[in-house]
Amino acid sequence: MASRGSGIGAPSHAALMDEVYRGQRHLYDVTRKYYLFGRDTLIAGLAAAPGMRVLEIACGTGRNLAKIGKVWPAVALHGLDISAEMLKSARAALGREARLGEGDACTFDPKGLLGEPAFDRIVLSYSLSMIPDWQRALDHAAACLAPGGSLHVVDFGDLQGLPGPLQALLRRWLAMFHVEPRAALPAAAARIASARGLMLESRRGPLGYYQLHVLKAPEPARSVA
């Protein structure tokens, strides 16, 4: 379980996320469809087969997991989030369709929390921009890939195609919610892919609004009879 605030000094990240989402979670899905672009493109690219273990790290309200279950039927859905508040929405949305747990993207134990040692598809959607130690979270996600599995990341991009004032306004507005677009994400994805022997495919969304990265683990070696 993620550590919660002690009541002294700065709140823990878990407590901060609960504070951000306690009220907002009720409006989250209807509002975010207007500015969290690229999530459905990521889901369409999962190419998940029945029986595959799919994990969304920082799953929020469970919106993506619900869609994944419709687009890729008969996969085994798993999700985790640091916010107990967000998990209330996810549990209400998904019921028994998914196994959910409260944990920190940087440190969770996949077997202990979700009963699986590794996953065939892992999703990080608009969460690295809210996780302070996001490079650690990305590396931990890559470490949880099963042989032949893939890690799919979507998040805010460089925003360079937006007019300057609009870009500045968007950055200020996102900062109010503790969201920071990660300019170093392409380099971090390349570094982690290379260190872990993964193939990397990256895409820049229209106007640089979002960035998409897929890190693929090699297929297990076939034994020759």
The answer to whether 135 contacts ligand SAM (rule: CB under 6 A) is no
Least distance between ligand SAM and beta carbon 29 (Å): 8
| Neighbour tally for 222: CB within 10 Å | 6
Structure tokens at 100: 């959910």
Is the distance from CB of 199 to CB of 212 less than 8 angstroms? Answer: no
The answer to whether 94 contacts ligand SAM (rule: CB under 6 A) is no
Q: Which of 43, 48, 55, 58 binds ligand SAM (CB under 6 A)?
A: 58
The answer to whether 130 contacts ligand SAM (rule: CB under 6 A) is yes
Q: Which of 89, 125, 135, 211 binds ligand SAM (CB under 6 A)?
A: 125
Cβ closer to ligand SAM: 35 or 147? 35
The answer to whether 127 contacts ligand SAM (rule: CB under 6 A) is yes
Q: Which of 66, 94, 100, 131 binds ligand SAM (CB under 6 A)?
A: 131
Find the residue with minimal CB distance to ligand SAM.
60
Instruction: Tell me the window of 47-55, 76-84, 110-118, 165-173 that interacts with ligand SAM (CB under 6 A).
Output: 76-84
Q: Which of 43, 82, 114, 122 binds ligand SAM (CB under 6 A)?
A: 82
CA distance 16 to 82: 10
The answer to whether 211 contacts ligand SAM (rule: CB under 6 A) is no
CA distance 95 to 92: 6
Which residue has 């300057």 as its token pair?
164
Q: Which of 15, 54, 60, 198 binds ligand SAM (CB under 6 A)?
A: 60
**Residues interacting with ligand SAM, by CB under 6 A?**
13, 17, 21, 32, 36, 39, 58-60, 63-64, 81-83, 86, 104-106, 125-127, 130-131
